[in-house]
Amino acid sequence: MSAVLESFFGNSAKGLHVADNLVTGYASVKGREVCVIGTLEGVYIDNRAALRLSAQVIDCIKTKPGVPVVMLVDSAGQEPNRTAEMLGLASCFGHLLTCLQVARESGHKLVTVATGKAIGGAFICYGMFADAIYALDSASVGLMPVEAMSAVTKIPVETLRELSKTLPALEFGAAPFAQLGGVLDVWPAGAGLEAKLDESIASAVLTDDRARLGKERGGRTLAWDVQQRVLSSTAQ
Amino acid sequence: MSREPYHELKARERVAAIADPGSFAEILPPPDRVMSPYLPKLGIPVEFDDGLVAGRATLSGKPAYLAAQVGQFVGGSVGEVHSAKLTGLLKAAARDRIPCILLIESGGVRLHEGSSGEIGIAEAIRAVFECRSAGAATIAVIGSDIGAYGGMGILSACCDIRIMTEHGRLGISGPVVIEKWMGKEAYDSSNRALVWKTSGGKTRFLLGDAEVLSDDSSAAVREAIIAAMNAGRHPDLAFIEAQQAGLQERLDRFSGTSDADEIWKSRGVSDLASANLATASEFVKSITKGAK
Quick: pLDDT tens for A136-179: 999 999 998 899 889 888 999 999 999 999 999 999 999 999 99
Tell whether A89 is within 8 A of chain B (Cβ): yes
- HSE-CB for B137 with a 13 A CA cutoff: 20
DSSP B159: S
pLDDT at A1: 63
- HSE-CB for B146 with a 13 A CA cutoff: 23
pLDDT at A236: 75
pLDDT category at B288 given cuts 50, 70, 90 is: confident
Q: Look over chain A and give the mean of its residue pLDDT values, rounded to a whole number.
A: 96
pLDDT category at B291 given cuts 50, 70, 90 is: low
pLDDT at A53: 98
Mean pLDDT of A13-24: 98
Tell whether A44 is within 8 A of chain B (Cβ): no
Q: What percent of chain B has pLDDT over 70?
A: 98
CB B272 within 8 A of CB B261: yes
Give B148-203 pLDDT, tens digit per residue.
999 999 999 999 999 999 999 999 999 999 998 889 998 999 999 999 999 999 99
Asked if the model's pLDDT at residue A81 lies above 70, the reply is: yes
What does the longest C-alpha to C-alpha distance in chain A come to? 56
Backbone angles phi, psi at A198, to 5 degrees: -60, -45
pLDDT category at A114 given cuts 50, 70, 90 is: very high
pLDDT at B256: 86
The rounded distance, in Å, linking the Cα atoms of A85 and B170 is 9
Measured between beta carbons, the chain B residues lying within 8 angstroms of A81 are 173, 178, 181-182
Give A169-224 pLDDT, tens digit per residue.
999 999 999 999 999 999 999 889 999 999 999 999 999 999 999 999 999 999 99
Which of A94, A155, A229 lies at the smallest CB-CB distance from B42? Answer: A155
Instruction: Convert A59-72 to b/e letters by CB count within 10 Å (16 or more is b).
Output: ebbeeeeebbbbbb
Helix B115-134 with B80-96: angle, nearest 10 deg: 10
Asked if the model's pLDDT at residue B292 lies above 50, the reply is: no
Measured between beta carbons, the chain B residues lying within 8 angstroms of A178 are none
pLDDT at B290: 58
Alpha carbon distances (Å) from B217 to B43, B214, B225, B280: 37, 8, 12, 10
Mark yes or no for CB contact A58/B240 under 8 Å: yes
Give B203-262 pLDDT, tens digit per residue.
999 999 999 999 999 999 999 999 999 988 899 999 999 999 999 999 999 988 999 999
Nearest to B75 by CA among B170, B179, B148: B148
pLDDT category at A90 given cuts 50, 70, 90 is: very high
The rounded distance, in Å, linking the Cα atoms of B262 and B252 is 14
Asked if the model's pLDDT at residue B33 lies above 60, the reply is: yes
Tell whether A109 is within 8 A of chain B (Cβ): no
Q: CB neighbours of B6 closer than 8 A, spacing ≥ 6?
A: B14, B17, B143, B144, B165, B167, B216, B217, B218, B220, B221
For the ranges A6-10, B130-134, B177-181, which has the lowest average pLDDT? Answer: B177-181
Decide: helix, strand or coil at residue A138: coil
pLDDT category at A2 given cuts 50, 70, 90 is: confident
What pTM was computed for the model?
A: 0.97
Q: Which residue in chain B is spatially nearest to A235 when comparing CA positions? A: B92
Tell whether A107 is within 8 A of chain B (Cβ): no
Q: Which residue in chain B is spatially nearest to A233 when comparing CA positions? A: B27
Mean pLDDT of B273-280: 96
Q: Look over chain B and give the mean of its residue pLDDT values, rounded to a whole number.
A: 95
pLDDT at A31: 97
ipTM of the complex model: 0.98
Tell whether A124 is within 8 A of chain B (Cβ): yes
How many residues are there in chain B? 292
Tell whether A214 is within 8 A of chain B (Cβ): yes
Q: Which residue in chain A is spatially nearest to B152 when comparing CA positions? A: A90
pLDDT at B2: 59
Q: Which residue in chain B is spatially nearest to A220 when comparing CA positions? A: B116
